[in-house]
Structures are given as structure tokens and as C-alpha cells.
A and B are shown apart, each in its own frame.
Chain A
Amino acid sequence: GAVVSQHPSWVICKSGTSVKIECRSLDFQATTMFWYRQFPKQSLMLMATSNEGSKATYEQGVEKDKFLINHASLTLSTLTVTSAHPEDSSFYICSARAGLAGLYEQYFGPGTRLTVT
């Protein structure tokens, strides 16, 4: 099946610094990638949808200037958490849609655990 990777798998950073998380589709071209965050014992919350070559569409309540998303190629999307604060500590998951393989099929990455101290 299609594989999506994320890097890093976990990261600890100091408050005020920025952190970049990468999401790659390894064996298919991802026309659309989705970024989610998940707090402990809660369900996934969609943060934004990004289509290759265009600006991301952010969900209501998600600050686009704080969570910068770049989808520069068909295999790579990045999420940068700028000026991170402890409340940004969460589990961040990406998923990717293979445009040619089916409109609704999504493949999930393994997630990145961010801890801001």
C-alpha cells in the first residue's frame, strides 16, 4: 500500500523557537495533503488542507501565520510551527491523497510528537 512518512517522529524545542515537520509520500504523488493535530485521548482535528502548488486552506480557528504550510512538490509538504509555545505541544499527523488512485483514499503518516518546554 501507499506509504507516507513524517520527520521527525518526535521533537522537543524551547518556547519561542520554530519547528518544521516534514510529510512525504514515498511511492505516490500526493496532490492533496492534510495536517491534523491530536491532543491526548481526543480525536484528530483537521488543521489545514494543502494542494500542491497553491496556498493551504486553514480550518476555522487555526492561525495560518503560526502554522505555516508549504506543499512545494507532489511528494512533500511541510508544517512549520512558528514561535512555539507549550500549548502547541501535541501530536501532529499528516495524510496524503493520491490524486489518481481515488478521490477519497487517504494515507496517514506515523505522526510527530512535539513537546515545547
Chain B
Amino acid sequence: KNEVEQSPQNLTAQEGEFITINCSYSVGISALHWLQQHPGGGIVSLFMLSSGKKKHGRLIATINIQEKHSSLHITASHPRDSAVYICAVNSMGAQKLVFGQGTRLTINP
């Protein structure tokens, strides 16, 4: 079993829908990251969380440390949100990231 599991692996939705991507992890962590990778390959860091909730535009990320679970929400989804979303964690005290397998999101117009 991977240390970081994401669900779903693939998600297709219509423009405007509310999107939720889940991430569960099995180790103690110092930080959790949500990353976005577009088809061209470049990676953008969306959020880094160690507790609570963060919001940036239409994106919201939450984390529940006790349950070892995080969610990424996208409100009013748009085709340009189509990308692979990756959850990654820093194990306690570690600099390097452990990655989930990614969620491929497709938003149809």
C-alpha cells in the first residue's frame, strides 16, 4: 500500500461543477502539498498545509491531521482546470516529498 493514496484516479466533470479530490496518508507528516501538473508537464505548487484550511481563488484545501486526510476542492470548475492534481507529503522531519499517484481531472465545456 502506498504511503499516499489519492482518489479518484480519474475524474471527468462538466464545467461549473464542484470538484473534490481526496488524499489519505499513512505516516506522520510535517506538511502536505497539493500540486497541479498541466499536460505540458510543468508543476505548480497550489498549497502547502500543516493544519486547517487554505483558500486561493476557486481552490480550497483542507487537512484533518487526526484522520490523516486532505481534500482539494475546486468551485465553479472550468476547462482550464483540467490537469493532474498531485498530493504529496513531507514525512515527519523529512525534506523530501512522498507523492500520491495523481488525479487526472478533465472538465468538459
A residues within 8 Å of B by Cβ? Answer: 32, 34, 38, 43-44, 46, 49, 91, 93, 95, 97, 102-111, 113
Contacts and interface: CB of A to CB of B under 8 A. Distances in A.
B95 interface: yes
A46 B44 contact: no
Given A104-B90, A108-B43, A43 B95 contact: no
A38 B43 CA distance: 12
- The B contact surface, by secondary structure, is strand
B38 to A, nearest CB: 10
A107 to B, nearest CB: 7
Interface string B12-48: 0000000000000000001101010000111111001
Contact of A34 (B33, B40, B96): B96
Contacts of A102: 48
Nearest to A111: B41
Contacts of A111: 41-43
Interface stretch (B64-72, B74-82, B98-106): B98-106
Given A43-B101, A46-B96, A110-B42, 7 more contacts: A34-B96, A34-B97, A43-B100, A49-B96, A106-B97, A108-B35, A108-B43
